[in-house]
Every structure is written in structure tokens, then in C-alpha cells.
Homo-oligomer: A and B are copies of this chain.
Amino acid sequence: MKRTASEEMAVERTHRRHEVEPLQTIDRLSLNQITTDRWSLREAAEGCVRAGVPWIALWRHKVAEAGLQESRRIIRDTGLQVSSLCRGGMFPAATAAEREARIDDNRRAVDEAAELGADTLVLVCGPAPDRDIDAARAMVEAGIERLVPYAESCGIRLGIEPLHPMYAAERSVIVTLEQANAVARAYAPEQVGVVIDVFHVWWDPKLYEGIADAAGRIVGYHVSDWIVPTPDLLMGRGMMGDGVIELRRIRAAVEAAGYNGPIEVEIFNRELWDRPGDEVLALMKERYLEHV
């Protein structure tokens, strides 16, 4: 069968893609601690030190388990850098009082991020409280508008993370990079940026356009893989290289848009969670250099 013009272009693009250089070091590698969910914050931090991983991304429930001051001490003592705190957001709610309570909780998340030396708070924006997804999107915008002055006063940047559309009903009504960019654009890049997680955005026909439009505003980059067949909505992420995501091409686009910060490995996967953390970190380093 003769190739069409668009097929020819695709083939050529594939060839160009192979020219993207692999990463030579793990200087930018960050363990998002959900990847080693069985580890406490201290265990994860010490695991990073043993593995020579210089960055870590923390989750609030893990910080709460260890205690905020103790978490801060652990981070300081291990010398790790905190790439982000997960997570603020969850803005939509049925009543004004509930929405106000969410804002209060987001302020606490900002405080924690500042205390831990993270400069970015990741926002998972939340689902609708009812069937009205547009109203929920308006509540997200209103919530961010409320939060920005406080976050700025604490030196914390908000990072809107578009989630995969399969989470639209349960986790976030912000589901495309285009949408996240549109919300972020109302603010200075130091106030509000976007967090790009390959698992959430890889399917998007407008992905590379969205990445280019996010130039100067990308405040986080997360990697994992989309495995086939996909076993589960939440726990189906795979280690880089085990799935179908064009990791190197996406990284090249993100770098071309000006992002050279930490690269978080964030994997929800029961099988990985059941393995010893040190093994997971060894595999993560190997796959990072090979596939990211």
C-alpha cells in the first residue's frame, strides 16, 4: 500500500524523534512518594539518599503521618530537594460553606508546602458535586482566584494538573492541558502554572500544541507509563518503558517549552507497591535513563 502524505510525515517525525538525547544523569529525577506507597516519609527520604535520587515529591497524608515539623527535619537532614507537594485543589462543592472549607484546607496546604521548602503546590481541582460540570469548572476558577493571593504571599506557586478524562467524575473537572492553560493564563507565571503528567495527557491530539502554549508556565513534569491491556482506572499505571507513551518525545517538547526542572516518577501500581522500595528505586533509575 502506498503511503499517504500524512503517513510519510509521521514516519519522518518518528525518525526525528529517535534523535532526542537520553538523559545522562539522574540529577533531575524525583521520587513522587506515592510510587513507594508502603514507605513512610522517612523511609522514602532515606531510600532516595541510598539511591542517590536528589529530589522527592511529598503527599500531604504522608506528611501528616510523620508530623509537619518532623517531615521538615527529615528533608533538611537528608538534604533532599522537594519538587512539589501533592495536593491542593478539590474546589467544587455543593454549598458556599463547603467551598469555603475547601479554601481553608488549601491555605493549610500552601502553609505546608512553604514549611517543607517546596515551591509548588500541585492542584487536583476536584469533581462536580452534581451533574453540572460547567458550574464545577467555574467553581475551580473561583477557588484558584481566592487562593492565589495567599499562595503568593507564602512564596508558593500553584500548579494546575489536568487529569485524565476518565477521572472527570471523581477527581478533576480539569481534564486537558488546553483547559489548564486557559485557567492559568489569567495569572502571572510565578503565581499559577501547569503540571504535565504524561499518564493524564498522552492521548490528547492537541498535546504538543498545549505544551507549546504552556511555555514558561510548566511547573512540574511527571512520568510513568500507560500499560496495555489497562488493568484498572486508578492502579493501572506502569513503570516507564512498560507501556505505550512516547516519553522521550514528550520530554523534548516540555524542554523546548522551557522546563528544565525535576522530573517526578508518580506510579500507582499495586504490584510495584508490593515490592521492596529499594528495588523499585533501582528499577526507576534504570528506566528513567533508558526511556525518559
Report A's interface with B, CB cutoff 8 A.
1, 3-4, 6-7, 9-11, 13-14, 96-97, 99-100, 128, 130-135, 137-139, 141-142, 145, 164-166, 168-170, 175-176, 178-179, 202-205, 226, 228-230, 232-233, 243-246
What are 15 A-B pairs at a CB distance below 8 A?
A: A1-B100, A4-B138, A7-B139, A10-B137, A10-B138, A14-B132, A131-B245, A133-B203, A133-B246, A164-B166, A165-B165, A165-B166, A169-B243, A175-B205, A230-B233
Min C-beta distance of A162 to chain B, whole Å:
10
A131–B170 CB distance below 8 A:
no
Name the contact of A228 in the complex, choosing from B7, B139, B169, B179 (C-beta under 8 A). Answer: B169
Return the contact of A204 from the options B100, B132, B165, B232 (Cβ within 8 A). B165
Residues of B near A14 (CB, < 8 A) are 132, 135
Chain B residues near A130: list those with CB within 8 A.
Answer: 244
Identify A137's interface contact among B134, B138, B175, B205, CB under 8 A.
B205
Least Cβ–Cβ distance between A32 and chain B, in angstroms: 22
Q: Are A233 and B11 in contact (CB under 8 A)?
A: no
A170 touching B7 in the complex, CB below 8 Å, given contacts A100-B1, A165-B165, A175-B203: no
Q: Which of B4, B96, B175, B203 contacts A168 (CB 8 A)?
A: B203
* B6–A244 CB distance below 8 A: no
Report Cα–Cα, A285/B226, bound state, in Å: 38
Complex CA–CA separation, A96 to B3 (angstroms): 9
**A48 to B141 Cα, complex, angstroms:** 47
Chain B hits for A97, CB < 8 A? 1
Most B-side CB within 10 Å, residue of A132, A141, A164, A229: A132
Give the interface centre of A169, A170, A243 by most chain B CB atoms within 10 Å.
A169
Chain B minimum-CB-distance residue to A145: B4
Contact A138-B6, Cβ < 8 Å, known A204-B165, A244-B169 = yes
Give CA–CA (A228, B166) in the complex, Å.
11
Chain B nearest Cβ from A53, distance in angstroms = 26
How long is the Cα–Cα vector from A178 to B176 in the complex, in angstroms?
13
Residue numbers in B under 8 Å from A243 (CB-CB): 169
Query: Can you name the residue of chain B whose Cβ is closest to the Cβ of A9?
Result: B138
Q: Indicate whether A10 sits within 8 Å of B135 (C-beta atoms), given known contacts A175-B203, A230-B170.
A: yes
Known: A133-B246, A233-B233. 8 other contacts (CB 8 A): A6-B141, A10-B134, A14-B132, A128-B244, A133-B203, A168-B203, A175-B203, A176-B205
A94: min CB distance to chain B, Å: 12
User: For residue A130, which residue of chain B has the nearest CB?
Assistant: B244
